Amino acid sequence: MSFLNHKNNQEHILPDVFTAVKHGVTARQVAEMYGIEVNSHGMACCPFHDDTHPSMKLDERYYCFGCHASGDTIDFVSNLFRIGKREAALKIAADFHMPYDPKGRPRRGQPVTPEQKKEWEIRQLQKDFREWRGKVLSDLNGDYRILTERAEQNAPTDRNTPFPQGFVQAYNDRTLVEFYIGLLETAPLETQINLYLHDRVAIAALDDRVNGRGQPRISVREKLEEKKNLLKAQRDGAVNQQKQRAAI
Ligand SMILES: [Zn+2]
């Protein structure tokens, strides 16, 4: 095949597994896929060192502020499962159902076409949406039950006094919960995907409010500071013990 022909046919050629995976999913997506909890700031507890407060930032790539581990999607999976790069790429492609050319080799300077990238993004969006919809419907149905109970408990007993605050809040929240459930159960798919794209933060906030979960009280920076202090205290403790032992 001549170079020209090759170029003309480029969009019909599937990428090799490395290219497919690198362009198709982010480090954050693979981390979440393999059970690592990533918070709304894109931070997670680092799986590569003993981490109790999230010090790893995940996005397209990952970086740990604690142990300085960093890399791309494939590096992440390779290190997480202690497998080779190729094995990691094959695992990601299988788990994310990504199309690739099994005989393809990575070609420098010839990444995926915009059409391929778009197709992967749509595929990923649909997958994310389906997962989100299932979880959110179950959360919202739980919220509906909680709010019905709460509204009943706080129901006004006397028509001459104003509505108790708890009643108004529970009643309003329940109306909103009902509205979202209705959309997710009956609205056209496009409307549902729009809800996922634009309202999922508001829906999560509603669910948090109903369940009495507030915003995280301390920031990542404060958590890191806290962790540094803890480590320092442990080190000082160890030093003191050594001194005591030396004194005996
Ligand atoms: Zn780390």
Are 55 and 153 found together in one domain? no
pLDDT per residue as tens digits for the range 70-119: 999 999 999 999 999 999 999 999 999 888 888 887 766 556 677 777 77
- Centre of ligand 1 to C-alpha 232, Å, is 18
Q: HSE-up of 142 (CA within 13 Å, CB side)? A: 12
Q: Does residue 240 surpass a pLDDT of 70?
A: no
Confidence of residue 3 (pLDDT cuts 50, 70, 90): very low
Q: Report CA(61)–ligand 1 centroid distance (Å).
A: 14
98 and 125 share one domain:
no
Together in a domain, 199 and 127: yes
Q: How many angstroms separate the alpha carbon of residue 28 from the centre of ligand 1?
A: 15
Closest listed residue to residue 38, CA positions, set 64, 18, 19: 64
Task: Look up residue 10 and give its DSSP letter.
Answer: G
- How high does pLDDT run on average in the chain? 83
Residue 21's Cβ-count burial label (10 Å; 0-12, 13-18, 19+) is: buried
Per-residue pLDDT for 5 more than 60?
no
CA 126 to CA 136: how far, in whole Å?
Answer: 15
Q: Are residues 174 and 81 in the same domain?
A: no
| Residue 28 counted as domain residue | yes
Structure-token pair, residue 75: 């590096």
- Ligand 1 centroid to Cα of residue 67, in Å, is 4
Is the same domain home to 9 and 107? yes
**Residues 26 and 73: beta-carbon distance below 8 Å:** yes
Q: Are residues 152 and 103 in the same domain?
A: no
Are residues 103 and 137 part of one domain?
A: no
Q: Are 54 and 43 in contact (CB under 8 A)?
A: yes
Cα 82 to middle of ligand 1, angstroms = 15
Find the 45 Cα to ligand 1 centroid distance in Å: 8
CATH number of residue 38's parent domain: 3.90.580.10
User: 132 lies in which domain range?
Assistant: 120-210
Token pair listed for 59: 């996005």
Check whether residue 89 and residue 188 sit in a common domain: no
The answer on 92 and 8 residing in a single domain is yes
Our count of domains for the chain comes to 2
Half-sphere exposure of 71 (CA within 13 A, CB side): 15
Note whether residue 27 is domain-resident: yes
Model confidence at 215, pLDDT cuts 50, 70, 90, reads: low
Whether residue 106 sits in one domain with residue 128: no
Helix (H) or strand (E) holding 166: helix 165-186
In a domain, 244, yes or no: no
- Sign of the torsion angle spanned by Cα atoms 166, 171, 177, 181: positive
Burial of 120 (0-12, 13-18, 19+ CB in 10 A): buried
Among residues of the chain, what percentage have pLDDT more than 90? 45
Q: Tell me, in angstroms, the distance from the centre of ligand 1 to residue 128's CA.
A: 27
